[in-house]
Amino acid sequence: MSNLGQQEEAFALAKEALKNDMKSHICWHVYGLLYRAEKNYEEAIKAYRFALRIEPDSQPIQRDLALLQMQMRDYQGYIQSRSSMLQARPAFRQNWTALAIAHHLAGDLEEAEKVLTTYEETLKNPPPMSDMEHSEAVLYKNVIMAEAGKLEKALEHLEAVGHRVTDVLAVMEMKADYLLRLDRKAEAEAAYTALLDRNPENSMYYEALIRAKDIPENDHKTLKAVYDSWVEKSPRGDAPRRIPLDFLEGEDFKQAADAYLQRMLKKGVPSLFANIKALYTNTWKRDTVQALVEGYVSAPQSNGEANGDNTEFLSSSHYFLAQHYNYHLSRDLSKAMEHVDKAISLSPKAVEYQLTKARVWKHYGNLEKAAEEMEKARLLDEKDRYINSKAAKYQLRNNENDKALENMSKFTRNETVGGAMGDLHEMQCVWYLTEDGEAYLRQKKLGLALKRFHGVYNIFDTWQEDQFDFHSFSLRKGMIRAYVDMVRWEDRLRQHPFYTRTALSAVKAYLLLHDDPDLVHGPLPGGANGDDADSAERKKALKKAKKEQQRLEKLEAEKRDARKAASATAKGADGEAKKEDPDPLGNKLVQTEDPLKEATKFLTPLLESSPQNIEAQNLGFEVHLRRGKHALALKCLSAAHAIDPSNPALHIQLLRFRKALDNLSEPLAPQVAEVVDSEFESLLPKGQNLEEWNNNYLSTHKDSVPHTQAGLTCRQLLNAESKPQCEKELAATLDSQILALETAVAGLNLLSEWGSDQTAKTAYAEKAKSKWPESSVFQLN
């Protein structure tokens, strides 16, 4: 029944069976299995325990219990289970290994090592080289020793048995690492030399080698000689040629850079600029590189190949300069455009050149043009998915969700349930779902935005679930080190930037929905969202939005029917029949009663996994404050303050928190009030004159536009009458030399937040537009 997908019936039957026979271990076991299938692991563990109490010697029950204990990270329980499984069957190596893993993950390294050694001592003869499981167990034991800090012992062990281990590279890496940590420099040098002989493209090896050789940081000559020796050994490699550019200075740098650049430009290596740009934090190096490459294009015959075909060198050089002038540390967009056009005229079919042209448009702030140009790049090589992905991404940045999906569908399996979008979900295409959701969020189509963000959320759940099978599989295969690394990775899964980004966007979407419940019907035409609550105009707009929503639903239903007709039995990649999504537009998601509570679903793991992300703390404050959780809101403020006390968003939030405390509709519970007051006192003291505090902030950070924007926001919060003056000063920030386009756009959004009138917005937008004449982002809705 459970396998048939009829969970409820299965549970009813199991309960019935238990009623008939409370003492049947089989019934309890099945009951547990049902819970496990539902992913209710806690209940499943309880049921297994009952079954085991009735039938203590049952290996299948014991094994199922152990797997769940591992999944739930109940290490003490797992140790118990594994001990009794070992007692029952001590002849199996994997039972020993499993117990060692249990102790290892529980933090008892001594015991883990002891278990492995005990097993080893039962072996009369060394197993043959072909015994991979043994080879891996040896390395596993070695890793445990090293983790326990017993490096000498680990090294000795490795010297004694390492030659029998078939993962040769691992042994070399471990040995080199231990030697370096033990400060046994001469041997470490030999070990890293051996590693570099195998793989000269690893900067970490060079770094270690140089530490082992004790070469002082400023002895550039000796350093360069080391790298040169590897250029000789591996003439086609990149690392030993590129790394010296990091430390060389003056004429030495210029010479080395010249040789490096010319070589790569002649080869037409497209990643040359990506390889070089890290040097630009040093402005002298940046200017030197610029002068060199400008020299190549102005006097191309001087490069010594006047007779050969020089076109590739020339077009590569223009391409390089296009990227150079497009880069934020050396930006001059008109020059970038000039060079990219020259490169394209020399090699009209080069996808990379056309791609760069689209990027220049992006930096101009014209997303429409950028998407158009990227589409041209795509058409240059329609069989290449990379450029197809780029084109779709640029369309999403331009809020063209349908066009983007149309492009993506050229490489998806469109017979999947749910069509191209279904395939992108199934194949866990996180980047696309995130970009798609963010595009919907910008358009205030919150249902679809939330739909995508939940899609990513579910993918992370799946990834967490994925480990389950490996708890048994990896023991069979015996590849323990990788398994342990996986377990640890799963424990910090949502630390991944993919999760962080989606969670931040999802929280923003829920905040928007909470602040403007009308958005449940989609964006109101004419930007009427948030305006006077009862105006006739709002009602009209609302009606229109609802109509649009119905139209979309109908459209989606038609698409679904068409797909159904096309393939009566669509199946997923795993062969299982998949059901159509009952809520493809996310209407159910957006109709939530409590957006803030839903937001915490994304927020809690975000704050747990990435507490150092200041934007996460900023948004955490917004959610908690709206939920009336003052202590939690303050916790976010304190955390943000610890990361960056002058953070602009934090500055505004400090003021808003002060005001919120001053205007509580009902007082906080006494204990809460005490904690909040005393902790907030250190962030923004009660006796502080707020205007003075804000003016201080403004003058300290007068050269930074984001900080100025925050200071002005606070000023108009403190004194509504200062708004016209603040608007003027905000427009004046557009004169700043170091202003980024994104910051200027944020300024325009700020005016909406302040509730400024159309005149102020128009003035700002026009001034911005004159500074970025090619842009399309300063449109008023």
Partner 1 sequence: MVDIVPLSSYPSYIDLLPSIQTCNITNLPENYFLKYYLYHALTWPQLSFVAVVRPKAGYTKHTDEEGRGSATLAEQYPKVVGYVLAKMEEEPTDGMAHGHITSLSVMRTHRRLGIAERLMRMSQRAMAESHRAHYVSLHVRVSNTAALRLYRDTLGFQVESVESKYYADGEDAYAMRMDLKDMWMNWEEIERKDRLRAEKDEKDADEGDDVGDLGKKDAEEKEKEKMVKVKVGRGLGVGDLVEKNESQVQA
Residue ranges in 494-523 that form contacts with partner 1 under rule CB under 8 A: 495-498
Number of residues that bind partner 1 (CB under 8 A): 96
CB 319 within 8 A of CB 301: no
Question: Which residue in 297, 322, 429, 726 binds partner 1 (CB under 8 A)?
Answer: 429
Of 152 and 197, nearer to partner 1 (C-beta) is 197
539 binds partner 1, rule: CB under 8 A: no
Asked whether the CA dihedral 675, 678, 679, 680 is positive or negative, the reply is positive
428 binds partner 1, rule: CB under 8 A: yes
473 binds partner 1, rule: CB under 8 A: yes
Question: Which residue in 15, 163, 571, 597 binds partner 1 (CB under 8 A)?
Answer: 163
d(CA 778, CA 769): 6
Of 182 and 292, nearer to partner 1 (C-beta) is 182
474 binds partner 1, rule: CB under 8 A: yes
Tell me, residue by residue from 345 to 384, as one string, x for binding to partner 1 by CB under 8 A and - for no binding.
------xx------------------------------xx
Name which of residues 386 to 415 contact partner 1 (CB under 8 A). Answer: 386-387, 389, 411, 413
Query: Please, what is the end-to-end C-alpha distance for the chain in angstroms?
Result: 55
Among the listed ranges 35-43, 486-494, 631-639, 700-708, the one in contact with partner 1 (CB under 8 A) is: 486-494
Question: Which residue in 15, 267, 546, 564 binds partner 1 (CB under 8 A)?
Answer: 267
Tell me, residue by residue from 204 to 243, as one string, x for binding to partner 1 by CB under 8 A and - for no binding.
xx-xx---------------------------xxxx--xx
Task: Report which secondary-structure segment, H or E, holds 226.
Answer: helix 220-233
431 binds partner 1, rule: CB under 8 A: yes
Per-residue buried b or exposed e for 515-553, using 16+ beta carbons within 10 Å of the residue's own CB: eeebbbbbbbeeebbeeeeeeeebeebbebbeebbeebe
Question: Which residue in 47, 115, 171, 654 binds partner 1 (CB under 8 A)?
Answer: 171
Long-range contacts of 537-544 (CB under 8 A, 24+ apart): 542/518
- 93-106 vs 75-88: helix crossing angle, rounded to 10: 160
88 binds partner 1, rule: CB under 8 A: no
Write the CA distances from 247 to 28, 216, 292, 541, 587, integer angstroms. 67, 12, 18, 62, 56
Question: Which residue in 115, 145, 174, 261 binds partner 1 (CB under 8 A)?
Answer: 174
385 binds partner 1, rule: CB under 8 A: yes
Question: Which residue in 194, 664, 720, 732 binds partner 1 (CB under 8 A)?
Answer: 194
Q: What are phi and psi of 596, to 5 degrees?
A: -70, -35
Of 469 and 681, nearer to partner 1 (C-beta) is 469
Pick from 264, 273, 205: nearest CA to 238: 264
CB 61 within 8 A of CB 29: yes
Question: Which residue in 83, 84, 275, 776 binds partner 1 (CB under 8 A)?
Answer: 275
Of 242 and 635, nearer to partner 1 (C-beta) is 242
Tell me, residue by residue from 632 to 661, as one string, x for binding to partner 1 by CB under 8 A and - for no binding.
------------------------------
d(CA 143, CA 485): 11
Of 46 and 220, nearer to partner 1 (C-beta) is 220
274 binds partner 1, rule: CB under 8 A: yes
199 binds partner 1, rule: CB under 8 A: yes
Question: Which residue in 128, 575, 667, 687 binds partner 1 (CB under 8 A)?
Answer: 128
**Nearest distance, CB of residue 209 and partner 1, angstroms:** 10
Name which of residues 572 to 591 contact partner 1 (CB under 8 A). Answer: 573-574
284 binds partner 1, rule: CB under 8 A: no
Of 441 and 456, nearer to partner 1 (C-beta) is 456
Using DSSP, state whether 684 is helix, strand or coil. Answer: coil
610 binds partner 1, rule: CB under 8 A: no
570 binds partner 1, rule: CB under 8 A: no
Q: What are phi and psi of 571, to 5 degrees?
A: -125, 150
d(CA 767, CA 224): 51
**Nearest distance, CB of residue 193 and partner 1, angstroms:** 8
Of 55 and 312, nearer to partner 1 (C-beta) is 312
How far, rounded to the nearest angstrom, does the alpha carbon of residue 404 sit from its chain's CA centroid? Answer: 22
Among the listed ranges 261-269, 360-368, 398-406, 736-744, the one in contact with partner 1 (CB under 8 A) is: 261-269
Angle at Cα 155 formed by Cα 154 and Cα 160, nearest 5°? Answer: 100
**Nearest distance, CB of residue 624 and partner 1, angstroms:** 27
Question: Which residue in 80, 202, 472, 719 binds partner 1 (CB under 8 A)?
Answer: 202
Q: What are phi and psi of 14, to 5 degrees?
A: -65, -40
d(CA 501, CA 248): 37
Q: What are phi and psi of 668, to 5 degrees?
A: -70, 155
d(CA 775, CA 768): 9
186 binds partner 1, rule: CB under 8 A: no
Task: Report which secondary-structure segment, H or E, holds 503.
Answer: helix 497-515
559 binds partner 1, rule: CB under 8 A: no
d(CA 419, CA 544): 29
304 binds partner 1, rule: CB under 8 A: no
Longest C-alpha distance within the chain, in Å? 95
Output the six-digit token pair for 726. 């603040």
268 binds partner 1, rule: CB under 8 A: yes
How far, rounded to the nearest angstrom, does the alpha carbon of residue 525 sit from its chain's CA centroid? Answer: 34
d(CA 553, CA 396): 21
Q: State the alpha helices, DSSP H only, in 123-167.
A: 132-147, 151-161
**Nearest distance, CB of residue 210 and partner 1, angstroms:** 12
**Nearest distance, CB of residue 293 and partner 1, angstroms:** 18
Question: Which residue in 169, 562, 642, 732 binds partner 1 (CB under 8 A)?
Answer: 169
Of 203 and 696, nearer to partner 1 (C-beta) is 203
